[in-house]
Chains A and B, each alone.
Chain A
């Protein structure tokens, strides 16, 4: 990607500009042999406090913007940094290969795994190729094929979620978008190998959940997860897509909200400013989590693992119950 062309968000500009000033100062100082270390230290402290000020108080819409940041690491960025080796596999063996979902064989230390994730593009061309990370039924069917391969070979599964939603198109409906998602939900509940899910970007609707039924479900600090995109919700409930900011707020779309609602296991910290500011650090967080979880999950008998997975999802939901007549 051309980094210079990729825009920064308004609220992160002050930090980016300050960092730019530090670089310019250091460059010109070294050219002229001047000592500017005091000034640089002062500016660095300022970057830190400013970063804290801005990023400790993000509102729902700012989180949405970070989750969709054009610089945000995608599934392939994580795969490259989290795993020691990766061989991509293609196709659902029925219709076609869907570039909106990538998956394949991965190595992590002594372990072999299956890794799957939604894949967005970086620019217009690659986004068109990836369909903006919106999968068609064949994408979910490819994912299922790979997950079943994991089950057949006893390898754990790691998935990365980053999609605005399943693609709403004529072909998608003809080929059974609903059926493809539904089948994945049911089958994932029955795969007798550990499944670890990372929502690292946008978790949009059933299209996200279709690779999201796991023993552990995490969200990166600035990712989002909701039943429908803020724009979709705004279009239906407010009859105006421009009300997406209100919809994002109303839907409690952030990782911190998801944790409070009991829908995920934990929120994983991102580097200050978001995971796009430091790919390596974000990948290291994910890798550490996979290793720690697999030590526990691989020790469980398959039946116990499946019972616990079912119990985890059965416990989701908040309602009132009158003391019973049954």
Chain B
């Protein structure tokens, strides 16, 4: 059985957890407005059949999509956000954390662990936009840094799938420092010849774009994702005029040399596997000597 069929089976496994999807369950495509039946969507990996818009999928769905069946082992659980600044805007940060914990059932905006992609062992992190807009505070930075440290120790490639509004404002300076923390760890990966692949999905902005998302040895993006440093509204207010068509889309970034490739969700695992096999030449990078440039 090829890995692609395995992946498809994985996706079905998720949806069968919710039992059968009723025939009449449907949503409107947020991009083209077409009616999309969920039964159809689960087969197309939640990509709109009319306009190819990639709808948001869950962390579990990405794990199933990307990893060999049964290979996932989540690590560094039980690390959760506190409220170091005593931050309050219209709501208290503490209450926002509680609401997100309840909504997502996750510790914070990222899940990290080990798995295999076409039998290549990897460290993988998947961000979760549903947890406070996928924002990076102390917990996200810490979990990513630990995952990357594991990759150095175990000499496995690292993959981070990003979707994030950026650094989490409610932890202000501490969130900002997570950009330095994760980027400094990625320098260590470089020194140790451990490859890092960044996958950017919709939307990824701010401090996540300005740290690990843009630091992949190879950077992939899903089609039509919003990717940028400053948000489009901020730029519009600053320059006080309309933004060009397609500004800050994956296609725009590819054209400007900021990405290596745009990959349709159905091809994501096969392209990842291809690239990983190039890096690990064989199935194991443990014997490769670090490159000291």
Contacts and interface: CB of A to CB of B under 8 A. Distances in A.
A316 B180 contact: yes
Given A170-B247, A209-B176, A227-B169, A319 B138 contact: yes
A226 B85 CA distance: 12
Nearest to A175: B256
B268 interface: no
A160 interface: no
Interface centre among B141, B171, B172, B207 (most CB of A within 10 A): B172
A186 B88 CA distance: 32
A294 interface: no
A138 to B, nearest CB: 14
Contact of B181 (A173, A238, A250, A317): A317
A320 B211 contact: no
Nearest to B80: A320
B169 to A, nearest CB: 5
B228 A178 contact: yes
B77 interface: yes
A177 B145 contact: no
Contacts of A309: 184
A252 B85 contact: yes
A173 B229 contact: yes
Given A182-B214, A206-B229, A251-B85, A313 B177 contact: yes
Interface stretch (B24-32, B45-53, B236-244): B236-244
B85 A317 contact: no
A227 B167 contact: yes
A324 interface: yes
Interface string A299-326: 0000000000110011011111111111
B174 A261 contact: yes
A225 interface: yes
B230 A185 contact: no
B135 to A, nearest CB: 10
B46 to A, nearest CB: 26
Contact of B75 (A176, A314, A318, A326): A326
A220 B28 CA distance: 54
A168 B235 contact: yes
A1 interface: no
Contacts of A322: 77-80
B200 to A, nearest CB: 10
B186 interface: yes
B211 A173 contact: no
Contact of A178 (B88, B174, B229, B234): B229
A39 interface: no
B59 to A, nearest CB: 18
Interface residues of B, number: 67
Contacts of B201: none
Given A182-B212, A190-B190, A319 B79 contact: yes
Interface stretch (A98-106, A229-237, A273-281): A229-237
A213 B214 contact: no
Contacts of A313: 177, 180-181, 184
Contact of A321 (B78, B173, B230): B78
B156 interface: no
A244 interface: no
B177 A177 contact: no
A148 to B, nearest CB: 12
Nearest to B108: A319
A325 B113 CA distance: 13
Contacts of A252: 85, 172-173
Interface centre among B138, B181, B188 (most CB of A within 10 A): B181
B187 interface: yes
Interface in A140-191: 166-170, 172-179, 181-183, 185-187, 189-190
26 contacts: A170-B239, A173-B229, A173-B248, A174-B252, A176-B258, A178-B209, A178-B227, A178-B229, A181-B210, A181-B211, A181-B229, A182-B213, A185-B210, A189-B180, A205-B176, A210-B210, A227-B168, A227-B171, A227-B207, A250-B85, A251-B85, A261-B84, A313-B177, A317-B177, A321-B78, A326-B75
Interface of A: 166-170, 172-179, 181-183, 185-187, 189-190, 205-206, 209-210, 212-213, 225-228, 232-233, 235-238, 246-247, 250-253, 257-258, 261, 263, 309-310, 313-314, 316-326
Chain A to chain B: the 9 pairs with minimum beta-carbon distance, closest first: A168-B230, A317-B138, A322-B78, A185-B183, A189-B184, A178-B209, A178-B229, A177-B229, A181-B210
